[in-house]
Amino acid sequence: MSIFKPDPQIPPRVLATDLDGTFIPLPGNADNLAALETFRHARASLEFGLVFATGRHFESVLEALRQYALPEPDWIVCDVGTSIHHRQAESFVLFEPFETHLAKNTRGGDRTAVEALLADLDGLALQSPERQQRFKISYVSSAAAAESLAALANQRLEQARLPYACLASLDPFHGKGLLDVLPAGASKAAALIWLATHADFTPDEVVFAGDSDNDFAALTCGFRAIVVANARGDLAGEARCELARRGLEHRLFQATLSATSGVLEGCRRFGLLPA
Ligand SMILES: [Mg+2]
């Protein structure tokens, strides 16, 4: 896992945030909507960077932007950390240096090689094209077979020495198994940490906000971090423990408010936005 030693003297300048359960208002939560309005105004009048870091695919992020009238971010990290888009004028373009970075990590082995290797696995089918990326090969299976298919896929990837790993999860809405084959070590956090050392800001300037396990690495790498009140279980406690081992527990803020309101509370606490 990537970590860095933060310089506490450097003030925050960029909000990097998870979307679902964090920056996107919870259903029917008027306070969250008001907080979002505050962020919209702040983006129009204040100088601070905005990065979305989400497991959603790019089209789905654009959909969320429209649906919730989110303020436009400067950067979007999506597809479980396997693609980064950069805002240029009115549109978003794929950030090529990150593609180059992933191509180097995968030693040129691209999705064609992965697809060919897994083509004859019974019960495994490719998801629709908008779910696919150059470095994210996504499959669907029955819920019951997901774990064993992931194990089989990993066995084959290892034998073929393709530096990819297959992760299985369940789609709670459709009762299906979802399998993502990603470059080994790819994650939302890894992509965000890479971005913070290659874009027009530094890791010291980032405030990161999240609510679930796939935010844990980004919450504990050294960024100023906000855990929203609706986070799962004791995510904040576990993150604080992890940070305390490096004497960095002061980098974490446990919000008393949920989702968008908690993110706003944390941004004010860290001085990214005025109180
Ligand atoms: Mg979330």
- State the DSSP string of 85-96: EEEETTEEEE-H
CA 136 to ligand 1 center in whole angstroms: 20
| C-alpha 107 – ligand 1 centre gap (Å) | 31
pLDDT in the model for residue 3? 80
Q: Separation of 159 CA from ligand 1 center, angstroms?
A: 34
Q: What is the pLDDT at residue 272?
A: 97
DSSP classification of residue 203:
G
| Distance from the alpha carbon of residue 236 to the mean position of ligand 1, in angstroms | 14
Q: Are the CB atoms for 180 and 149 separated by under 8 Å?
A: no
CA 203 and chain centroid, separation: 15
The CA distance from 225 to 222, in Å, is: 8
- pLDDT tens string, the chain, 275 residues long: the values are 578 889 989 999 999 999 999 999 999 999 999 999 999 999 998 889 999 999 888 999 999 999 999 999 999 999 889 999 999 988 999 999 999 999 999 988 889 999 999 999 999 999 999 889 889 999 999 999 999 999 999 999 999 999 999 988 888 778 999 999 999 988 888 999 999 989 989 999 999 999 998 899 999 999 999 999 999 889 999 999 999 999 999 999 999 999 999 999 999 999 999 98
Distance 128 CA to ligand 1 centre (A): 23
Cα 47 to middle of ligand 1, angstroms: 25
Distance 119 CA to ligand 1 centre (A): 32
Q: What spacing in Å lies between the alpha carbon of 22 and ligand 1's midpoint?
A: 6
Asked whether 263 and 35 are in contact (CB, 8 A), the reply is yes
| Number of CB atoms found within 10 A of residue 94's CB | 13
For the record, the structure tokens of 60 come out as 């789905």
Q: Are 195 and 75 in contact (CB under 8 A)?
A: yes
Ligand 1 centre distance from Cα of residue 160 (Å) = 34
CA of 156 to the centre of ligand 1 (A): 31
Percent of the chain with pLDDT over 90: 81
Rg (CA), the chain: 19
Which domains occur in the chain, in start order? 14-49+62-71+187-269 (3.40.50.1000), 109-183 (3.90.1070.10)
pLDDT the model gives residue 5? 87
State how far the Cα of 187 lies from the Cα of 220, in Å rounded to an integer: 14
| Ligand 1 centroid to residue 19 C-alpha, Å | 6
The neighbour count for residue 123, using CB atoms within 10 Å, is 15
Residue 118: phi and psi, rounded to 5, are -105, 5
Q: Residue 134 in contact with residue 154, Cβ under 8 Å? A: no
Inter-residue contact 205 to 235 (CB < 8 Å): no
3-state helix, strand, coil in the chain (%, to 5): 40, 20, 35
**Ligand 1 mean position, distance from CA 30 (Å):** 19
Token readout for 66 is: 């429209």
Tell me how crowded residue 115 is: count the other CB atoms within 10 A of its CB.
14
For residue 203, the CA-to-ligand 1 centroid distance in Å is 21
